[in-house]
Amino acid sequence: MKENLWEKNLFDLIRRTSTDLPADVEAALRRALNSEKKHSPAAWALETMLANAAASRRRDTPLCQDTGTLTFFFSVPVGFDTNALSARTRTAVAKATRAGYLRQNTVDSVSGALYETNIAHAAPVIHFQQGARKDVDVRLVMKGGGCENVGRQYSLPDAALGAERDLEGVRRCVLDALWQAQGLGCAPGALGVCIGGDRATGYEYAKVQFLHKLGHRSRIKSLARLERRILLDARELGIGPMGLGGRTTLLGVNIGALSRLPASYFVTVSYMCWAFRRRGAVLGPEGGLHRWLY
């Protein structure tokens, strides 16, 4: 494993994720702007978001001061040295922090002390999956605290929502989560939803949904219909960008499902802000760049 090559390309992945809004997200914001009334608070908010995205790309500076929790998803060949790759990833995160692409953003929950390089137990978050491949696929999601705070998990049935253990019940939960978030998650956002699993895997798999581009639909027809229905219903909530009112409350929604126990039926909703920082790369076995993703 060529350490310098891995660190260089992982550092560049972090830099790109922090500073360069993906094309699909920027296009969704432009469509949203075109759907709002001119000179309205919603239009002003969307114009500001697009100007911010352009400025951060031009100046090579973070899209948001909260550079968030870094979650890496690696798909590697069978037998690949994941310990070494984890070490190279942590080194790249420390370098990106020192270079200003990441805020000193990791706090000891007991003492309140700051980890100045963002390296700590379970920070960054790194997931590995081995498969029949010769290269390494890495995806990075950076998720800030504001949108993380408005995620929710429901246990069905939920009498208060009139939500039963079916897809209509799931729809009610998702719309309730969106309503409760209002503008606090920096709307318009995107939702990752997991039906089933346990409490821990539900949140994990809900965040996996953020690896899809906006506009991606589930291969399960009933879930694809539900995704489209929620997007339409969200327009009727009137929350709008940053909670200022308007038609655009949601940029996208992706729903996945896990098996569950007979006694449990969880619906987990993870909220991603408009600064939807998601990038990826395909790297060779020695760390050389094959291509960028998204």
| 94 & 132 share domain | yes
| Cis before 157 (ω within 30) | yes
| 217 & 262 share domain | yes
Q: Measuring CA to CA, how many Å separate 139 from each of 50, 82, 93, 107, 183?
A: 24, 15, 14, 24, 27
> In what helix (H) or strand (E) does residue 196 lie, and over which residues does it extend?
none
| 200 & 221 share domain | yes
pLDDT tens-digit readout, 194-220? 999 999 999 999 999 999 999 999 999
CA–CA separation, 279 and 292 (whole Å):
8
Classify residue 212: in a domain, yes or no.
yes
CA–CA separation, 143 and 206 (whole Å):
13
Mean pLDDT of the 148-166 span: 99
- pLDDT for res 276: 99
| 151 & 256 share domain | yes
| 210 & 229 share domain | yes
| 232 & 115 share domain | no
Classify residue 52: in a domain, yes or no.
no
Classify residue 113: in a domain, yes or no.
yes
pLDDT tens-digit readout, 232-252? 999 999 999 999 999 999 999
Classify residue 84: in a domain, yes or no.
yes
List the domain range (segments joined by +) for residue 124: 3-17+63-142+278-293
Classify residue 266: in a domain, yes or no.
yes
| 114 & 197 share domain | no
Classify residue 200: in a domain, yes or no.
yes
| 85 & 207 share domain | no
Mean pLDDT of the 78-107 span: 98
Q: Which of 111, 138, 137, 136 is nearest to 124 (CA)?
A: 138
pLDDT tens-digit readout, 41-61? 999 999 999 999 999 999 999
- pLDDT for res 2: 67
CA–CA separation, 168 and 247 (whole Å):
23
Mean pLDDT of the 24-31 span: 98
Confidence of residue 1 (pLDDT cuts 50, 70, 90): low
- pLDDT for res 142: 99
CA–CA separation, 173 and 152 (whole Å):
9
Percent of the residues in the chain that have a pLDDT greater than 70, as a whole number = 99
Q: Residue 128: is its pLDDT beyond 70?
A: yes
Q: Crossing angle for the helix pair 41-59 and 23-35, nearest 10 degrees?
A: 160
Number of domains composing the chain = 2
Residue 158 sits in a domain of what CATH number? 3.30.1330
| 124 & 221 share domain | no
Mean pLDDT of the 69-76 span: 98
Q: Chain-wide mean pLDDT for the chain?
A: 98
| 124 & 247 share domain | no
